[in-house]
Each structure stands twice: as C-alpha cells, then as structure tokens.
Homo-oligomer: A and B are copies of this chain.
Amino acid sequence: MKAVFIDLSGVLYIGREAIPGAREAVARLQASGLVIRFVTNTSRMTRRQILESLRGLGFEIHDEQLVTAPSAARDWFAERGLRPWCLVHKAIREEFEALDQSNPNAVLIGDAADDFTYAHLNRAFELCLEGAPLVGIGRNRYFRLDGHFLLDAGPFIRAIEYAADVEAVIVGKPSKTFFEQVLRDAGCSAGETMMIGDDVEGDIEGALKAGLQACLVRTGKYRPGDEHRIDGDFRVEDSIVEAVDYLLGS
C-alpha cells in the first residue's frame, strides 16, 4: 500500500471530541512515508475551519493533504461558467463568493442544516424544473452529532431529483470522478490506495467502485450490520487505530 485516504467526521472525531487513539494513529501514518489525503464531504466548515479544527484537536495535517467536496463543487461551476444558486450551510458560503451567483442557472445542494426550509427547497426545485443542472455535495444519508443522527445532504438531493425528475451530478464521495481526482492529486494508483471511512456507501462502496481498497471502521455513524449492506471485499476494523495497525503491519 502506498497511499491512504481518510474520512474525517466519525473516523478521527465525533462532534468536538477526538476518537481515542486517533491522534497517535495519524501521527504514526505521517511518520510512515505513506501518501495521505484527508477526504471529506463535510459542508458545514470551510477548508480553513476544517484545518483549524483538526489542529485544535491535536491532529497533524498539512494543508495540501485536505481535499473537500465543496472545493470540488466550486471548481465544477467555475469550469462551466455556471451561476449556481447555493443551498449550502452559511458557514461555507464564502467558499463560493468568487462565483457569479446572480440570475442563477444551476443549483448546488450541500448540508444546509436549518437552511433546508420549504421556501429554499422550492427555489431549488423551480430552478431545476426550468432546466438548471443540479449538483449535490455527496449523497450522504446522515451523520452523527451530540448523540443524534442528523440528515445530511443526500436525502434533500434525492427529494429535488424526484420532484423535478432530474439526476444530480455528485461532487465528493462516492463519485468515481472525485476519487480519481484525488488519486491524480496524490500521484497514486487506485490499487495501491486504501480508503478508511465510517460510511459504508459514501466511503467504502464509492472507493471500491473506483478500484481502491477500503476499510470500514466501527465508529461514528457506523451501525451494526452496515458491513452487509454492500457487496465487495473490504476490511472492517474497530477504529482508525486498528486500521492503522493493519496498514503499518504492527
């Protein structure tokens, strides 16, 4: 194995708490010489905030090691000269400031939290009904915060797809295009890379379909039985600690 891609929420931390042993596991990886990318669909924090938050929790992470789905979304619109209407969390609106958002002709849906109102969803729907392409940040069903399971962007993307009878372009996991971008950036081939995540569809199934190896961890949003929800060969470990033990052969 030459490279490892690591999901953030639920793998390194839950809410505002690092998972026991995760810091040391990441430090051992950083010292190992493996190429590392932290790959997240999180759309409640900017890149800068994610980096600060990880460092605040004691994780060693270099700027260029972080790959976020919102950045991939911004690039997608910019490359096509589209003007998106962004139904995203207020915390990450600044990531899209460089794009013209007047008179929108495209729609972006991320995890908008309390901004998922009936009025906002109707706005997204009407634009899609008029032909605006729909871009979704991931297809994640839910995540875990403060002991609660909370709806992620996926269900709302499905809702608009169903209402307007369209199919969303997905940026971030589990999109094969996204995994391939990260592989190119990391300079590694799929077969020599392992994805570690707690989301059996977004992280594990997505990685397998892109040809990577994968390891599901039983932390974060993991629920017993998740490993039987998808087909394919992948490892299952109790946490990032045991996953890193396996990778480093210790």
Which A positions have Cβ atoms within 8 angstroms of B? 112-119, 121-122, 125-126, 129, 141-142, 148-152, 154-156, 158-160, 162-165, 229
- Is there an interface contact between A114 and B119, defined as CB atoms closer than 8 Å? yes
Q: Point out the residues of chain B lying under 8 angstroms from A119, CB to CB.
A: 114
Q: Are A121 and B126 in contact (CB under 8 A)?
A: no
A159 to B159, CA, bound (A): 5
Chain B residues contacting A163 (CB-CB under 8 Å) are 141-142, 151-152, 154-155
B154 near A125 with CB under 8 A, answer no
Is the Cβ of B149 less than 8 Å from the Cβ of A158? no
The answer to whether A118 and B159 have CB atoms under 8 Å apart is no
Q: Return the chain B residue nearest A113 by Cβ.
A: B118
Q: How far is the CA of A126 from the CA of B146 in the complex (A)?
A: 14
Selected contact of A141 from candidates B112, B116, B122, B165, CB within 8 Å: B165
Known: A160-B155, A162-B154. A118 touches B114 (CB 8 A): yes
Chain B residues positioned under 8 Å from A117 (CB to CB): 114, 116-118
Docked CA distance A84–B52 (Å): 43
What are 12 contact pairs spanning A and B, CB under 8 A?
A114-B117, A116-B121, A117-B117, A117-B118, A121-B151, A142-B163, A151-B159, A155-B160, A155-B163, A156-B159, A158-B162, A165-B229
